[in-house]
A and B are shown apart, each in its own frame.
Chain A
Amino acid sequence: MMDSGFDRRDFLKVMGWGGAAAALSGCGNTSIENGKETVVSYVEAADYVIPGIGVYYNSTCAQCDAGCSINGRVREGRVLKLEGNPASAINRGRMCGLGQAGVQHHYNPDRLREPLLRNGDKGEIITWEKAYALIAEKLKGVSGEEIAFLSGGVSGHLKVLLGNYLASLGCKNHFVYEALAPGVVRAANKKAYGVEMPRYNISKAKVVLSFGADFLGAWVSPVHFSQQYAQFRRSVDGQRGVLIQVEPKMTLTGANADRWVPIRPGTEGVLALGIINALGTSTGEIAAAVKGYDRARVSKETGVPPGQIDKIAAILKLRSPSLVLAGGAAEGYAHGSQNAAAINLLNHVLGNIGKTVEATAAVPFPQMAPAKGNTAALKSLNDGLAAGKYKVLFNYAANPVFTAPGALKFKDNLAKVGFKVAFAHYLDETALHADLVLPLDSALEDWGTLVPEYMAEGAQINIQQPLMENLHPNTRGIGDILLALLKQRRPEEYKNYEDYYAYLRTALVQNKTAFGGHAVDDETFWNETLTKGIVKLPGTTAALSGRAGVAGLKLPAPVENDEQYPLQFIPSVNISLRDGRNSNQPWLQESPDPLTTIVWDSWMEIHPKKAAELGIVEGDIVEVTSRVGSIKTQAYLFPGIHPDAISIPIGQGHEAMGRYAKGYGVNPFQIMDAVFDRETGELAMHETRVRVSKTGQRVIIVKDESAAGAKQIREKIAARVSTDNVDLSKEV
């Protein structure tokens, strides 16, 4: 806001005239420069290198864990643009905005360029030799028990190398941590279907009932699901698929749904059992278990009108097969496992198993299968840190100082470790607390193999290869670093591998028969593999073995009204910022949130009714207080949220990580309670309760939508119909 005496309009007028005058005076032929720029030619050029013409390489996207295959355009040795690789069954040539921004990870001006050793508050540049020697020195006399390795999800040959390194140290403390992993759903799926991630056939379903699974936005494999969704909407046999989304805060998927059902946070499981009851098709123990969940009770507990429950049951009965999904919003509670189990039970009752919930293929090399990240690992690491168990901590691809709930006091516990090594791309919050920071190659410079968790079709191994030479000469690939560290421990075993590339090549070529390369020589096989960027495997299919069971299914009564903290806090997942690891990519910061159109900042979503009650208007700076702490951000009135909940997107509020991340917005993890799912020990992200108070300040929210535009849309395009007056069966 401008507080000076100058009127904005006057200011713009004068600047306009100024611009015109400057343009006039600048006219002439002065824009052609001669002999100023250097034009550097190649010393030796390969035949296929033509300046101005792109060359394309296949690799794998590393922006999230979905494992989409990418195809990068490289011109004059620089990667310019990424697109999807059509040969991959996961993304079939498509790509999301998050993936597109991968070049900004690579060219990020805040990337680490040299190994840094802590010297007081400063990082001192050291050589790699010194860094490796230092690690060897610090590991001397330290038992395996006293070493911990924290990483994000790892798979492929990197996982094998990492496992070997830890074995060489005698260390069994490998913590695989992902802040936003569907850990509870995996466990519930394992019970209900026999596999952690079955293949969800959205395209074959005639109704999709999703309990908070934002599969079009940020859930598991969104690019793949979006394509499935497109087919689902086009329909195979003339019936356009119907999507019903049940969640307390509207996600992108919720915004696309035919019916969006706001539900009281945490009661998703109750609604699922209520629907089973309303279907009335189950018998035996299931019927007995859902007997108590009649319309009146379910409606009272969930806040979903009885008519809605009937409509959902009616359409599920009418159309088969359907598909029921349990997602992030349903699992984030202390009874998250119960919620997920109740929702999965619905798939059994509806007979969807084997039709839309299918067996999945696994890579026949179990040692390469992904080590899936979860949040239970964070808790056990944190407990160990608090007890002072570890003398040396390695950290790769995880930023727990940023993503651990404030109640865990992770930062303080981290300080108890004697020597902390971080392998990092940026000086993020966790790397900032490390004693030794080793700079990594970007995902577009590194070698690797990746096995995606969600297999779209048959099993596949994705190849990651450099799209260009190292931008900064002193960064190293994580594989190369692990190999160098392994050579310290087991020099005999690894002396034949000059670098990680040699290791990968040997590993793949040795097994070429298994990878479908039996008919060709090594060189051809290797080149073909790199050209395709994917190794497709016959794969072993894990049959679905779980059965419908209600044993142990027990849903708690909804929370009583809490006087002190009356609102449920929903940390929402933005489709591009996710857990905050990509927040330093300005394309993602400036792409508006799909539902609120807000950019470069955090906001608190609150229902207009609740806001009126509290006297909050859009732009009010509010203080959101939980038992753990408080944060201040701008309020945004949003009808797509349950009145008893508020929501703040995660991913913002960095205190480090460079110019595009630091200082924008607030970090909702800071006020998160440390409540864990009772069965799996996963962090219950939605269990924090808060109160909201005004601070008296007000700002203009920076967003793309305008008040005038929204009004026009309401008046001219869409007729407003109250949700309850819509007859769902007629719409179908």
Chain B
Amino acid sequence: MHRFLRISVLLTGLIAALSISAAESPQATPMTEDSLGPLVEQPIEFPHDRHAGDADKGGMQINCMYCHTYARRSAVAGIPPLQKCIGCHQSIESVREAPRIKKLFEYWEAKKAVPWKKVHDLPDFVRFNHERHIKRFIEQQNRPFQEACGYCHGNVKEMTVARRSKALSMGWCASCHQKDHLVTAEGGTPVGGQAYWYTFYKPDTAVGSAEGLKAKGPNDCWQCHK
């Protein structure tokens, strides 16, 4: 009898605690594939459209990886060092007096890093590797870099300050990694016995069949959860 009472006391307390926490944190509406992240205020409103946008819209068509240079060499894309901004802007007299550029030079002269806010932030237990995606889509398959980066980052060339435009949830990542992709010899993609090198699962279609060989992207747990 006492035991029953004790359990009820514990359970009551637990339910009370849960209902309080539920009341305090209203459930966010579930995201769809293309639901936008919140607008993030940055110390300098960096115009991605001006730098990376198409020429007919007044953009400079700079390669994403000119600034985010670490993406092809490391797991993280990195924010460019301030030195890189200054490297160009010290010789662009036309915008030297623009408020954003003035602010940029203020940071430079004080030798202080710009405290950018993270826009695409994954939980700490997820390891996303930029280098591997770039190797696959840009170096092997020769896809346009803005398309490849855009799979996850959206159409950055039309944004000013970057805004998350993909869900970046596990289901969203897996929706691509679980698909059967056509494996071809073009772009250096491994074929034949090497086709499922990317995954533990054997490809659905046999090598040399009419439809071509299909294989899934790497979708083992440990690929992201190391």
Is residue B193 within 8 Å, beta carbon to beta carbon, of the partner chain? no
Chain A residues with CB below 8 A from B75, complex form: 52
B18 engages A18 (CB within 8 Å): yes
B10 touches A10 (CB 8 A): yes
With A17-B14, A43-B83 given, is the CB distance from A50 to B70 under 8 Å? yes
- Of the listed stretches B35-43, B51-59, B150-158, B180-188, chain A binds B35-43
Identify the closest chain A residue to B36 (Cβ).
Answer: A34
- Give bound CA distance, A7 to B10, whole Å: 11
- The answer to whether B6 and A42 have CB atoms under 8 Å apart is no
Decide: A36 near B118, CB < 8 A? Known: A29-B28, A41-B80.
yes
How far apart are B177's CB and chain A's nearest CB, in angstroms? 17
Measured CB to CB, the closest approach of chain B to A37, in angstroms, equals: 5
Residues of A within 8 A of B123 (CB): 31-32
Return chain B residues, CB-CB under 8 Å to A7.
3, 6
Interchain CB contact under 8 A, B2 and A42: no
Minimum C-beta distance from A77 to chain B (A): 12
In the complex, which of the residues A25, A29, A40 has the most CB atoms of chain B within 10 Å of its own CB atom?
A29
Determine the distance from Cα of A665 to Cα of B111 in the docked complex, in whole angstroms: 49
| A418 contacts the other chain (CB 8 A) | no
In this assembly, does A30 line the interface, its C-beta being within 8 Å of a C-beta of chain B? yes
Within 8 A of B (CB), among A637-656: none
Number of interface residues of B (CB under 8 A): 49
A41 adjacent to B40 (CB under 8 Å):
no
Asked if A43 contacts B113 (CB within 8 A), the reply is: yes
The chain A residue sitting closest to B14, CB to CB, is A18
Considering the complex, which residues of chain B in the window 84-133 have a beta carbon less than 8 Å from any beta carbon of chain A?
A: 107-108, 111-123
Checking B31, B79, B82 against A44 with a beta-carbon cut-off of 8 angstroms, the contacting residue is B82
Known: A28-B27, A28-B28. A39 touches B116 (CB 8 A): yes
Question: Does the CB pair B31–A29 fall under 8 Å?
Answer: yes
B167 within 8 A of A: yes
In the complex the two chains form, is A38's CB within 8 Å of B118's CB?
yes
Q: Does B224 sit within 8 A of A, measured CB to CB?
A: no
Compute how far the CA of A44 lies from the CA of B114 in the bound complex, rounded to whole angstroms.
12
A45 and B74 CA atoms in complex are apart in Å by 15
Contacts of A31 in B (CB 8 A): 123
- Among residues of B, the one whose C-beta sits closest to the C-beta of A42 is B81
Please state if B169 and A32 are interface contacts (CB–CB under 8 Å): yes
B1 touches A (CB below 8 Å): no
Residues of B6-65 whose CB lies within 8 A of A: 6-7, 10-11, 14, 17-18, 21-22, 27-28, 30-31, 37-38, 40-41
* Cross-chain contact A35 with B40 (CB below 8 angstroms): yes
A38 shortest CB reach to chain B, Å? 5
Which residue from chain A places its CB closest to the CB of B171 in the assembled complex?
A: A29
B73 within 8 A of A: yes
A41 to B117, CA, bound (A): 11
Residue A21, interface by CB 8 Å = yes
Q: Judge whether B121 and A29 touch: CB under 8 Å.
A: no
B144 close to A (CB within 8 Å)? no
A22 part of interface (Cβ distance < 8 Å): yes
Contact with A along B147-184 (1 / 0, CB 8 A): 00000000000000000100111000000000000000
Are A32's CB and B74's CB within 8 A? no
Cβ distance B217 to chain A, nearest Cβ, rounded Å: 21
* B76 CB–A CB distance under 8 Å: yes
Q: A40-B115, A41-B80, A41-B82 are in contact. Are A14 and B74 (CB under 8 A)?
A: no
**CB-nearest residue of chain B to A30:** B28
Out of A10, A11, A34, name the residue touching B37 (CB < 8 Å): A34
Taking CB atoms and an 8 Å cut-off, the chain A residues in 189-211 that contact chain B are: none
A34 engages B167 (CB within 8 Å): no
Cβ contact of B118, chosen from A17, A22, A29, A33, cutoff 8 A: A33
Neighbouring B residues of A50 by C-beta, 8 Å: 70, 73-74, 78
Other-chain residue from A14, A25, A36 in contact with B10 (beta carbon distance below 8 A): A14
Which A residues are in CB contact (< 8 Å) with B164?
32, 34
- The closest CB in chain B to the CB of A22 belongs to B18
Residues of B within 8 A of A14 (CB): 7, 10-11, 14
On whether the beta carbons of A43 and B82 are closer than 8 Å, the reply is yes
Across the interface, name the chain A residue whose C-beta is closest to B41. Answer: A35
**A29-B169, A37-B117 are contacts. A53–B73 as well, Cβ < 8 Å?**
yes
Contact indicator B119/A10 (Cβ below 8 Å): no
Known: A51-B78, A52-B78. A32 touches B122 (CB 8 A): yes
Q: Does A141 contact B (CB under 8 A)?
A: no
Interface string of A36-67 (1 = CB under 8 A from B): 11111111110000111100000000000000
- Bound-state CA distance A636–B81 (Å) is 58
Q: How many angstroms between the C-alpha atoms of A8 and B37 in the bound complex?
A: 45
CA gap between A373 and B6 in the complex, in Å:
61
Closest chain B residue, CB of each to CB of A9 = B3
B residues in contact with A17, CB < 8 Å: 11, 14
Q: Which residues of chain B come closer than 8 Å to A5, judged between CB atoms? A: 2, 6
Query: A38–B113 Cα gap in the complex (Å)?
Result: 11
Q: CB-nearest residue of chain B relative to A33?
A: B121
Q: Which of A10, A35, A39, A53 contacts B79 (CB 8 A)?
A: A39
Q: Is the CB of B113 within 8 A of A40?
A: yes
Tell whether, in the assembled complex, residue B10 and residue A11 are in contact, meaning their CB atoms are under 8 Å apart: yes
User: What are 16 A-B residue pairs whose CB atoms fall within 8 Å in the complex?
Assistant: A6-B6, A10-B7, A18-B18, A30-B28, A33-B121, A34-B118, A34-B121, A35-B40, A35-B117, A36-B121, A38-B117, A40-B113, A40-B115, A42-B81, A44-B83, A53-B74
**Assuming A29-B31, A40-B115, A52-B74, what are 8 further A-B pairs, CB within 8 angstroms?**
A22-B21, A32-B168, A37-B118, A39-B116, A41-B116, A43-B107, A43-B111, A45-B83
Report A's interface with B, CB cutoff 8 A: 5-7, 10-11, 13-14, 17-18, 21-22, 25, 28-45, 50-53
Q: Which residues of B contact A (CB under 8 A)?
A: 2-3, 6-7, 10-11, 14, 17-18, 21-22, 27-28, 30-31, 37-38, 40-41, 70, 73-76, 78-83, 107-108, 111-123, 164, 167-169
8 interchain residue pairs of minimum CB distance: A35-B40, A52-B74, A41-B79, A42-B81, A52-B76, A14-B10, A45-B81, A51-B78
